[in-house]
Amino acid sequence: MIDYRRLRVALLGAGAVGSQVAHLLHTHADELADRAGAALELAGIAVRDVDAPRDVELPRELLTTDAETLIVGSDIVIELMGGIEPARAHIQLALNSGADVVTANKALLATHGTEIFDAADQVGASVYYEAAVAGAIPIIRPLRDSLAGDRVNRIMGIVNGTTNYILDRMDGEGAEMAEVLADAQRLGYAEADPTADVEGYDAAQKAAILASLAFHTTVPLDAVHREGITGITKGMMDAARHAGYVIKLLAVCERLSGRADVADGAEAISVRVYPALVPRDHPLASVHGVNNAVFVQAEAAGDLMFYGAGAGGMQTASAVLGDLVSAARRHIAGGAGVGESTRANLPTVDIGKVVTRYQVTLEVDDRPGVLARVAGILSDGRVSIATVEQSIAEPTGPDEAGSARLVIGTHTAVEQDLSETVMRLAEDDVVERVVSVLRVEGD
């Protein structure tokens, strides 16, 4: 056994991830020391209530409610409390005390990332956050380091396990969302209040972090266009399957360049979260259950995909410990911290300027001339039709006249043109109902 230098590690939070981190720090102590080149001594675990019941038993003498004292005496601080305060204040205190920081706090990074990275730069410390996006899947290091010499053009990520579980089961079993969501809650895959997941807030935070890294740009959370999955019905899933697609909640980060709608050929980016149609033969289509995957298109590297478990206490703990070893190596090696590069600082364009393909499903009167009328409205709105499929819809009530369903696949169109055109369609006499409007990504 080598007599390594000791580093004092403070753990803030002892929830599902924190208690696994404490457990693995203890059981794998020798291996971690060999890899870090330092003995990682768990100096204490800051919790709100030392008597709270926990899944994993933790040594009582390590628990403390005095986070500040613990932080000030530590070399590395692992923040796993979540939320904005007091996590933000604790991380600031850690950096000011000369500690390196490991965090899994996506909400904090998506809202206060710039402030935290600047503070780290000023004191020459580093902030590691592999666990903040896509759990155990290494995606932060690949974007920050491996692709640092390349230009990322596009990211499409399935970064929320709860919504992927729901959509995957709806797709696989033809189930309705309500019953799958209830199952997910029973199995612990969804919270009692599922808003953060199903409305896309969680995915939007991760999208902001991924886009910031990929485009070397500060992407504020409110620059991320966000739509959730609550509008997705069994009927929409069935129609998607029939057309060779699957519906996935995607975080799309896109570099826009050389496009007419971006002024003077300057570059811009679009960051958006929404349910989209993904072709069945796209690698993202086969990401099942609560798994996550991030598909990256880079100028030189081409297409890359990173796949794995997106959540779970153990899995996220793996990412935290990887960061801890990196932080320890850096702490021992000395030298300046590695800051985030945001020198590109590309502007974010509004969702209205995004160009993509769409699938528009309409219920229309079943009589001659209707298709010509619909096609005319689309054409007037600068939306070009790629495919049309017409079928007779079942009457929804005894008083209903015969109606037909039109599934229209468009060529690429500008979002604003498309949405104005859909409004005109909705107001037109021949259109009974706009059933769905979905973007198509990845083809």
- For the stretch 57-96, what's the b/e string if a residue is b when 16 or more beta carbons lie within 10 angstroms of its beta carbon? ebeeebbbeebeebbeebbbbbbbbbeeebbbebbbbbbe
Integer angstrom CA distances of residue 107 from 119, 209, 216, 310: 18, 10, 19, 16
Amino acid at 231: G
Minimum CB distance to a copy of itself smaller for 238 or for 303: 303
> Which x/- pattern, by CB under 8 A, does the window 173-212 give for a copy of itself?
----------------------------------------
* Contact residue for a copy of itself among 304, 385, 430, 435 (CB under 8 A): 304
d(CA 340, CA 141): 12
Cβ proximity to a copy of itself: between 20 and 205 the closer is 20
Among 164-172, 195-203, 327-335, 399-407, which window interacts with a copy of itself (CB under 8 A)?
327-335
C-beta of 268: minimal distance to a copy of itself in Å? 16
Q: In 132-237, where do the E strands start and end?
A: 152-158, 225-226
The sign of the dihedral angle between the CA atoms of 72, 42, 337, 2 is positive
Query: CA–CA distance from 69 to each of 11, 22, 76 (Å)?
Result: 12, 19, 13
Contact letters for a copy of itself, residues 277-296 (x by CB under 8 A): ------x--x----------
**8 Å CB contact between 100 and 330:** yes
- Taking CB under 8 A as the criterion, which residues in 379-398 touch a copy of itself? none
- DSSP reduced 3-state for 123: helix
Residues 92-131, one symbol each (x = binds a copy of itself by CB under 8 A, - = not), give --------------------------------------x-
The distance of closest approach from Cβ of residue 34 to a copy of itself in the complex, given in angstroms and rounded to an integer, is 4
Residues in 212-251 that interact with a copy of itself by CB under 8 A:
216
Are 364 and 406 in contact by the 8 Å Cβ rule? The answer is: yes
Residue 360, burial from CB neighbour count under 10 angstroms (0-12, 13-18, 19+): buried
**Catalytic residue flag (residue 234):** no
Contact 122, 359 (CB under 8 A): no
List the x/- string, 4-43, binding to a copy of itself by CB under 8 A: ----------------x---x---x--xx-xxxx------
Could you tell me the smallest distance in angstroms from the CB atom of residue 315 to a copy of itself? Answer: 5
Q: Give the binding site for a copy of itself (CB under 8 A).
A: 2, 20, 24, 28, 31-32, 34-37, 130, 136-138, 141-142, 145-151, 216, 283, 286, 298-309, 312, 314-315, 317-326, 329-330, 332-339, 341, 343-344
By annotation, the residues acting in catalysis are 206
